[in-house]
Amino acid sequence: MARKTQRRREAWGSLRQLTSKRWQARYLGPDGRMYAARTEDDRPLTFLTKGDARAWLNKTHGAIAAGTWEPPAAAVERRALEAEQAARRDITFEQFADQWLETIKAEPGKGGRRRKPGTVLAYKGRIHNYLVGPLGDLKVREIDTDVVRRLAASIVAMPSQLRPEANHNGVAGDAIDTLKLVLRAAVREGLLDRMPDVATPQRKSVRHDQAHTPEDDVATPVQVDELYEAAPPRWRIGVLLAAWCQLRRGEVLGLQRRDIVWNEKRSAATLYVWRQKNGTTGELTDPKSDKGVRSMAVPPLMIKRLAAHLDTHVGEEPTSPVIPRTERGRTHVPATVWNDMWVNVRSKVAGLPAGYRFHDLRHTGLTRFAQEGATLAELMRRGGHGDIKIVLRYQKATMDRDVDLASRMSRTVAAELKRAKVRAAAE
């Protein structure tokens, strides 16, 4: 027969001995509910001796009399909140920066648009390459103006990895601006009293010396043709798309057969830019900005080459990449593969500036459009620019005007190529 528990009535509350020989304490709370003893994490609490149970009961009675008692579940919730707040007060920069990176993946940025994966990866790279080392173990609340100024000075003093002989590194401005984004979030969350007062280091390109001018990035039509000939056959059309259609690298690599619409005689075509191949994530994403979605006339200069390329190297499916990784394949070329190809191709063409980028072909085409009389609005439309400051370098829109400009540029370039071939034959 099971042993009965022993119950003892106290002056306040009650004690009983369980079948396990341990003691349980129970009491009536101020809210009129009966409570049994529980631990601080809200688990059942029993006692080895009756005296221990009575002492706990007397302590609880004292808390009720003093007005400090609270229901066990509420006490657990309060302690958990206090612990979380204490941990937040002591959160390190590395911990908070990693939390911030996770937050901004879904949080809208400027203009209410979600940040692109490449943008988040860029922030992550700057944080872990330049900020976590000196700030990682420092509590966020301890970061002040002096700390940030010392950090900015140390990053500015770092040598450039691209050009060690340069007197600036090209990364300090982006690194400090990223730090400011993280610290502004810390201020909003109450982890930092105020924003450190630190200016962003000046941004300077490290690709060239001070004597370099934008005009140095413009290849001649002969050099463009030589680059085209030097590239692998299934990829060489990308050179013309960058130069004469002014596409960015990601836009070239993201093109699909359906993006090129021909007239009935296949003597003219309109090219539509709907996507890009993101060089950071490798995914097909929206263009760089809303202005990047655009249409343009394909210059007559390259019509025959483009048609031959589609017939020879591109699959028949509408979504087949115009620049396939394999012959008539369905996979877009990764940016890293393209970059390796480009380094090899540019080395075969004489007269190009050192480190000439694939992106610089775009400058060639836009400069030629400017020379043909294109307005700033037309240059912005053709290049998919959203900032007028960017196209000012090309000097000062309707689709008809775009067709006219493409034709005029094509005639000029074709004539120059013809003269060059005549001179070469004469020599």
Please write the tens of the pLDDT for every residue from 301-332. 999 999 999 999 999 999 999 999 999 999 99
Q: pLDDT tens digit string along 239-288?
A: 999 999 999 999 999 999 999 999 999 999 999 999 999 988 889 999 87
pLDDT of the residue at 396: 46
User: Do 93-188 and 215-426 share a fold?
Assistant: no
> How far is residue 373's CA from residue 401's CA, in Å, rounded to a whole number?
11
Output the pLDDT for position 159. Answer: 86
- What's the average model confidence in pLDDT over 4-12? 58
* Amino acid letter, 214: P
Q: So where are the chain's domains?
A: 6-75, 93-188, 215-426
The average pLDDT across 125-129 equals 95
Q: What is the pLDDT of residues 101-126, one digit of tens each?
A: 999 988 887 767 788 888 899 999 99
- pLDDT of res. 354: 79
DSSP state of 290: G
Query: Would you state the pLDDT for residue 84?
Result: 76
Tell me which of 216 and 414 has the higher pLDDT. 414
pLDDT value of position 162: 64
Q: Is the pLDDT of residue 2 over 60?
A: no
Provide the 8-state DSSP code for 94: H
Hey, what's the torsion of the CAs at 372, 378, 379, 380, to 10 degrees?
180
**Which stretches within 384-398 are classed as H helix?**
388-391
Q: Does the pLDDT value for residue 9 go beyond 60?
A: no
- Please give the distance of CA 316 from its chain centroid, rounded to a whole number: 34
pLDDT above 90 covers a percentage of the chain that reads: 63
Which tens digits make up the pLDDT trace of 162-214? Answer: 667 767 778 999 999 999 999 999 999 888 989 999 888 887 766 655 555 55
Residue 338 pLDDT: 96
CA distance 390 to 29: 72
Distance CA 157, CA 194 (A): 26
Q: Record the tokens describing residue 391, joined without a space.
A: 């196209």
Highest-confidence segment of 3-12, 145-154, 283-292? 145-154
Task: Give the CATH number of domain 215-426; options: 1.10.3720.10, 1.10.443.10, 1.10.10.60, 3.90.226.10.
Answer: 1.10.443.10
Is 93-188 a domain of CATH 1.10.150.130? Answer: yes
Specify the pLDDT at position 6.
56
- Angstrom distance (rounded) from CA 325 to CA 308: 18
pLDDT 10s digits, 201-229: 887 766 655 555 555 678 999 999 999 99
